[in-house]
Amino acid sequence: MGNTWVALKGMLEYIGLEVVVPPPITKETLFLGVQHAPEFACLPLKINIGNLIEAKKLGADVFIMAGGTGPCRFGLYAQLEKEILEDLGYHYDSLIIEPPDTGYWQFLKQVKKIVGKASWWRVFQGIRFGYQKALAVDKLEKLVEEIRPRETVKGTADKIFQNALQIIDRAQNFGELEESYILSSEKLRHIPQDERKKVLKIGLVGEIYTLLEPFASADIEKKLGYLGAEVRRSLYLSEWVNEHLFLKAKGPSIRDFARPFLNHFVGGHGQETIGAGVAFANAGFDGIVQVAPLTCMPEIVAHNIFPEVSRDCGIPVLNIYVDEQTGEAGINTRLEAFIELLEARRKPDGKVVSKPDAVQGVAQDVASPIPREAAQKAANKEGPDTLTM
């Protein structure tokens, strides 16, 4: 899942386990997964199965998987994966970690099962080390997100970032990690940039896997960056870990922003998606892009509610679903059109859409930024036929 492997590998190796990192996700991985996963399952499951098959070929024999108690499908991933792999003749021992929300004791017991002989102190340090790595990666990534639209030579920041990942991965202790982080961030800061360029700010929200794994989302984050937008995600690994594993949330939770649009937890990251959308709008972002795997239940709820958020907060929203149909051109076109629309909105004359014909395709996805009353009046007049999508 994106760069998560750096942190996880760091943690497990620190504890003293041998780790097989599955090869980066490619079309081949997805193909393997799609072949064996149920048709309507969500994309992360399909990729996961592909990963596990590839890792098996590299000699892995235990997979560690988070569990869950619903209502998102993720809670049953491990079980389904195990059964599918068993049918294919790949035998895995699976260790399913139930989230600590359901009881710390259970959680500790499972952790002990995984780590075997390592002492608790070692485990604790390992977790801390993994977390530090995640933190370092996330900080660098945020820097990259800022630099991407401004750099003079496109792609420099990404190259340095890839290199930084390698260095951070190689770091064996806290000192080395600190050093590699400082080195990489210095390198990033020295990239020549056009400081005066006015860039758009876009909030990327949605389902965690598609947010963190660039392959799953057809690299939307990078694409937006190169199109001249500074992207901020609603989720970063270290923040997620902080909130869910260490159970400490600082300040108001992102979910609180979801009221009054979505007043109840809907599983997965549905409420966070809406909440982050509102928070981004309040922070003066220019637009929101929602990414989710096709048939993702919580995100569909969020998608249904976004038009209202868009009307109330006056922020355009683009919804993108990803699945195994990986045609990139379609996504590129939609992103470009979205960016153009946002730029048009920012023009000083205040006219939101100058040529309605030119942006019609986008206007369908993007709820209109007209104030709510006006939109509703228009809706009443024209009847439900004018609904988006």
Please identify, using beta-carbon distances, which residue of 250 and 381 lies nearer to another protein.
381
Shortest distance (Å) from residue 36 CB to another protein:
10
Exposure pattern of 268-295 as b/e (b: 16+ CB <10 Å)? bbbbbbbbbbbbbbeeebbbbbbbbbee
C-beta of 84 vs 165, nearer to another protein: 84
Q: Distance (Å, rounded) from C-alpha 144 to C-alpha 158?
A: 7
Given a contact cutoff of 8 angstroms between Cβ atoms, the answer to whether 110 and 96 are in contact is yes
User: Which residues fall within 8 angstroms of residue 199, CB to CB, at 6 or more apart?
Assistant: 149, 150, 228, 229, 230
* Least distance CB 54 / another protein (angstroms): 21
- Residue closer to another protein (CB basis): 251 or 384: 384
Measured from the CB atom, the residue of 131 and 280 that comes closer to another protein is: 280
Q: Least distance from C-beta 322 to another protein, angstroms? A: 12
Report the distance separating Cα 33 and Cα 39, nearest Å.
10
Residue 101 C-beta: closest distance to another protein, Å: 12
Q: Which residue's structure tokens are 């392959």?
A: 215
Query: Do the beta carbons of residue 41 and residue 152 sit within 8 Å?
Result: no
Q: Determine contact, residues 101/75, Cβ cutoff 8 Å.
A: no
> What CA–CA distance (Å, rounded) separates 249 from 233?
18
Strand-pairing partners, residue 66, are: 97
Give me the phi and psi of 265, to 5 degrees please: -60, 135
User: In the complex, what is the shortest distance from the CB of residue 198 to another protein, in angstroms, rounded to a whole number?
Assistant: 32
How many residues are there in the chain?
Answer: 389
Min dist CB 309 to another protein, Å, is 8
Q: How far is the CB of 271 from another protein (least distance, A)?
A: 9
Distance of closest approach, residue 241 Cβ to another protein, in angstroms: 23
Which of 264, 261, 271, 269 has its CA nearest to residue 312? 261
Residue whose CB is less far from another protein, 96 or 114: 96
Residue with Cβ nearer another protein (38 or 371): 38
Residues that bind another protein (CB under 8 A): 38-42, 67, 69-73, 75-76, 78-80, 83-84, 87, 96, 261-268, 270, 294-298, 300-308, 319, 321, 376, 379-380, 384-385, 387-389
Instruction: Output the smallest distance, CB 298 to another protein, in A.
Output: 5
Q: What are phi and psi of 385, to 5 degrees?
A: -65, -20
Nearer to another protein, 347 or 372 (CB): 372
3-class DSSP state of 151: strand
Between residues 158 and 312, which has the closer beta carbon with respect to another protein? 312
Angle (deg, nearest 10), helices 156-170 and 174-189: 170
Cα–Cα distance measured from residue 198 to residue 183, given in angstroms and rounded to the nearest whole number: 28
Of 241 and 309, which has the nearer Cβ to another protein?
309
Residues 6+ apart with CB under 8 A from 255: 265, 271, 272, 275
